[in-house]
Chains A and B, each alone.
Chain A
Amino acid sequence: MVSTYLGIELAAQRTRAWLFDNESGVYQLKAQVDEPDYGDKREMIHQVLRELEKSSGQRLHTKHGKLFDINKDKNSSGLKGVGISYSMGKPIRAAIIGVSEKFSLAPLRRLLQFFNVEIVLELDLQKEPNVSNQLETLISTAYDLVVLAGGVDGGPEKALRAVINNLRLVAQLRGKTNRPQIVYAGNKELADYAKLEIEIEDDLYLAGNIQPESGREDLSFAFTAVLKAIQRVRIKEFPELEAFSGDPDIRFLPSEFGRGRIDHWLEQTQINGKGLLHIHLEPDHGHILAVRDGLRMGLWQANDLDQIPIEALKSLINLPVSDFNLTSYIRNKQLHPGFVPVTIEDLNIEFALTSYRIRKLLEGLSGLYDQFLYSPEQGLVDNFEPIMLSGSSLTKFLPLRHSFMAALDQILPRGITTIVLDEFQLMGTLGILAEFDNMLPTQLVDSDAFTSLATVINVVSPNAFRRIVLRVEVDEGDKGYRQHHQIHQSELKRLETMNNHEIRVYLAPERDTDVGMGMPGLGGWVNTTSSSLGIIIDARGRPLRLPTDEKDRQELWHDWLWEMGV
């Protein structure tokens, strides 16, 4: 029996679809489509399905041309489930209400900024104890979602009760069609009170307390409720998608949630003791995910080119570009986000934009989570492997090597890590389809659906410029032939590897040089597989020592890019 699953992603201006089946005994990607779109999302689904039907021979529409031809008989072959992920739509305007900055508002920011949500109102009940003022603020602000948290279970209730009363009024004044979705994630003792008081039936979602005890925070208690609220807001925005929300054979969830689920699972199953970092860049947004010791940290950032300081971009460009050309490119890119760089100048600006966006994501996540340590100068403080890259800004608007360099120079990883590209943008949909059959993502991750870009060995040494910091021996298992290299301080070295080989690398660092093997001076064998770019040894140090002169800096960068084969 062959089980087939269909994944669809509704993105801003694009619709993607993937077909997976286990005809060969394990799940594989059978066909995929990535189409630009500007119109009705339901019509776009029909269009990508027609494309998939053409390329796979599998019928996905019913005999009557409707969505989807799902075979409900578990014992016969056919389409078994559909996972629809979405990243399209305006940012959901949210109000967050909490009894304190540290214990309720900060966690709520972490909870909501994981998603495509813009926080338009923050109400700190300690700073604004006046109930009349709270009500006026709640009435006069436009938002689609309210999340209320605060108070440990069994703790004080008075302030929360007052704001619940106010939310009842807000819901009444806005009427059934326009009232916001309300998520209650505070003191559990008040959950029933909130339900009875606010009286908005399906528009109220009761979550567990995200801070059940003093000092303990668990955002996962509120994920399900927030997801349901987000889904309802999206269906109001795209009513043509309503039919997908109640069908047991269709899952309809945000793409970022799907990616988060897969990243979480990958981090939990790997045995290297490191975290997992994932950067996803689309023309309209970026999303960063870091999972460390089971803690899922994420941040969605809209790509607001208006906010990018020109000076910051200029410092990332490795060619002389006039201010006029630079600002023209940025302004026009805002108007035409799908614009593809054609000239070398365009390419350099696009590279700088991508680098800047990656840096902002890393800084943003570091600002949200104390556990995620990053600075643009020192890079990542913690060890992450693998580092996943995905999204069309990294796969369609820059050549592979440029995407890699933009990521490497901003992330500045520690120790030894692997950088992997999700060229077909599978992570989101795999996270959604995992609900039907968890063998599907497991087998896909083990397949060649992902592109290993490079193994990066980061070398940190106090040695002087151009002094030897590391000696490397590369064994490609090819009849005893071994390559030997010397790596100097401030050098970026690429060691090309042959395809389809298991590669062993012996690292012999100098006495004070740290290559991520546990302590400075300690080396050893590292096993790796072949990858698009091979083994990259980054001995440029932390922070990157860049010349202050613009021309010298650009030349140095040019050398590094040259080393990458750019």
Chain B
Amino acid sequence: MTNKQALLQNNCFLRQTVTLPVPGKVAVHLGQEVKAGDLIAEAILPARFQVFDVLNHFRIKESKLEGSIKRLAQEEVHRGDVIARKPGLISRLFRAPEDGRVVAVRDGRVTLAMGEKSITAHSPINGVVAQLFAGLGAEIMIRGKSIRGAWGNGQFGSGTLIYLENLDEIGTEGFTGKIVFLDEILSADQIEKLTKAKIGGLIVPALNPLEYSKFSQVPFPLMSLAGFGETKTPLPIQEKLAEFFDQEIYLLAREPLPFQAVYPELFLPVVDFKTPELFAETENWGLGSTVQLLGMPYFGTVGKIVELPDEEERLASGVSSRIAVVERDDGTLIRVPLNNFEVLKA
């Protein structure tokens, strides 16, 4: 049986990796509590480098090199300091163009590092440092309830989750910073209205695939629950969302990387939850599990698994696959390949 994880989780961990693109220093320690916005790691890189080839520029012999270089590796230098000097009647100098440090003296070349540029990584959530990645960052963890989505635009946000019946309700005030759940298939022309309202994020049941390029550029976090196509939010997800309304939640609209198990997620932190183990137990799905169907013509709809045959079956397309028999809400039974549904509740 495939070990799919349920989309709706009650007592689980949100694990968010926060790392630098290039190595630097990690500013937190294991077990440390952090707030959203706290610095997790920082890389301070020289803003500029200058490599000065003493042999070539001064046109001196290698035997005279040692006497020409006036600074040692790792020495700090100030603007105007003499780094190298060619002796003789007409003396030539190489001076430090800025404050900095000599980082290498090799093979007749002096390398200066000057200025500073800083790259930082901040936590998008409150939580506890659960794991450190040497030189790169940390994993921040928090316990609570989760609703996993299918697609996100790569942005993170937090705020109060509110329900919006339809887009006509939205004004320019009262929505600032709010995470909005809109039970409509979003089209690109609605984005402008939502942007003007300065919402803090948006959750929709599905997106119009023909306008994909516009969705990836919206200025707020955007998550689609089912992916791309036409569907409404099914009842089990609506019920779970109801627990999130009017609460401070995180919308981590990660861009999905299915091969690395990275998905967007809506998360409600709950401090009261207690689990004795560090890792919450995996729930096994099977007969009786509620599932959400992928693919046409049942895209986004839900049902219950009523049968799980052991053998592969030949589908209408001619492909053979292991399947589950799913009873839909209207009582119809359909045979669905195991890969063609997500488990909502185990």
Contact = CB atoms under 8 A, between A and B. Distances in A.
Interface of A: 12-13, 36-39, 88, 90, 131-132, 135-136, 139-142, 161-162, 165-166, 168-169, 172-175, 177-178, 197, 284, 323-325, 327-332, 334-347, 396-399, 401-402, 566
Contacts of B134: 177-178
Contacts of A399: 317-319
B258 interface: yes
A343 B294 CA distance: 12
B258 A13 contact: yes
A202 to B, nearest CB: 17
Q: In the complex, which of the residues A39, A131, A340 has the most CB atoms of chain B within 10 Å of its own CB atom?
A: A340
Contacts of A337: 258-259
A355 to B, nearest CB: 16
Nearest to B151: A335
A136 B112 CA distance: 11
A344 B295 CA distance: 12
Interface string B37-63: 000000001101111010000000000
A411 to B, nearest CB: 22
Interface string B253-278: 00010111100000000000000000
B109 interface: yes
A343 B135 contact: no
A166 B62 CA distance: 20
A396 B296 contact: no
B3 A39 contact: yes
B90 interface: no
A339 B294 contact: yes
B136 A178 contact: yes
Given A324-B210, A342-B315, 4 more contacts: A132-B50, A328-B229, A336-B258, A398-B319
A331 B295 contact: no
A346 B111 contact: no
Given A168-B106, A175-B135, A399-B318, A90 B209 contact: no
Nearest to A327: B209
B317 A338 contact: no
Contacts of B295: 329, 332, 339, 342-343, 346
Given A140-B45, A197-B106, A346-B295, A396 B319 contact: yes
A95 B98 CA distance: 30
B274 to A, nearest CB: 24
Q: In the complex, which of the residues A140, A142, A335, A398 has the most CB atoms of chain B within 10 Å of its own CB atom?
A: A335
B212 A402 contact: no
B244 interface: no
Contacts of A396: 319, 321
A342 B209 contact: no
A342 B337 contact: yes
Chain B: interface size category: 35 or more
B80 interface: no
B104 interface: yes
B89 interface: no
Contacts of B336: 342
A327 B228 contact: yes
Given A139-B46, A341-B319, A346 B228 contact: no
Nearest to B258: A337
Contacts of B50: 132
A402 B318 contact: yes
B22 A142 contact: yes
B48 A136 contact: yes
Interface in B307-346: 315-319, 321, 336-337, 339-340, 342
A131 B51 contact: yes
5 contacts: A36-B2, A331-B151, A340-B340, A346-B317, A566-B318
Interface in B217-274: 227-229, 256, 258-261
Contacts of B305: none
Nearest to B50: A132
Given A327-B212, A341-B317, A342-B316, A165 B109 contact: yes
B23 interface: yes
Nearest to A397: B319
A136 B45 CA distance: 10
A143 to B, nearest CB: 10
A139 B45 contact: yes
B222 to A, nearest CB: 14
A161 B212 contact: no
Contacts of B21: 142
Q: In the complex, which of the residues B4, B136, B318 has the most CB atoms of chain A within 10 Å of its own CB atom?
A: B318
A36 B261 CA distance: 13
Nearest to A401: B318
Contact of A335 (B208, B227, B340): B227
Q: In the complex, which of the residues A174, A328, A344 has the most CB atoms of chain B within 10 Å of its own CB atom?
A: A328
Contacts of B51: 131-132, 135, 162, 165-166
A37 B319 contact: no
Given A136-B48, A162-B109, A165-B106, A12 B259 contact: yes
Contacts of A566: 318
A340 B210 contact: no
Given A13-B258, A165-B109, A340 B315 contact: yes
B107 interface: yes
A337 B294 CA distance: 11
B209 A331 contact: yes
B317 A343 contact: yes
Contact of B296 (A38, A346, A397): A346
A221 to B, nearest CB: 26
B190 to A, nearest CB: 17
Contacts of A162: 51, 53, 107, 109
B11 interface: no
Contacts of B229: 328, 332
Nearest to B260: A90
A324 B261 CA distance: 27
B23 A38 contact: no
Nearest to A134: B51
Nearest to B228: A331
B195 interface: no
A340 B111 contact: no
A328 B209 contact: yes
A132 B49 contact: yes
Interface string B10-37: 0000000000011100000000000000
Given A324-B210, A341-B317, A174 B339 contact: no
B182 interface: no
A233 to B, nearest CB: 15
Nearest to B20: A142
A135 B227 contact: no
Q: In the complex, which of the residues B134, B150, B295, B299 has the most CB atoms of chain A within 10 Å of its own CB atom?
A: B295
Contacts of A177: 23, 134-135
B103 interface: yes
Contacts of B107: 161-162, 165
Contacts of A325: 296
Contact of A131 (B103, B109, B136): B109
Contact of A343 (B48, B212, B316, B342): B316
A88 B296 CA distance: 29
Contacts of B136: 178
B126 interface: no
B5 interface: yes
Contacts of A347: 317-319
A168 B296 CA distance: 56
Nearest to B208: A324
A136 B111 CA distance: 11
Nearest to B53: A131
B212 A336 contact: no
A288 B256 CA distance: 27
A475 to B, nearest CB: 32
Q: In the complex, which of the residues B208, B259, B294 has the most CB atoms of chain A within 10 Å of its own CB atom?
A: B259
A332 B258 contact: no
A465 to B, nearest CB: 31
The 7 closest A-B pairs by CB, nearest first: A399-B318, A178-B23, A327-B209, A338-B339, A331-B228, A12-B259, A347-B317
A90 B151 CA distance: 19
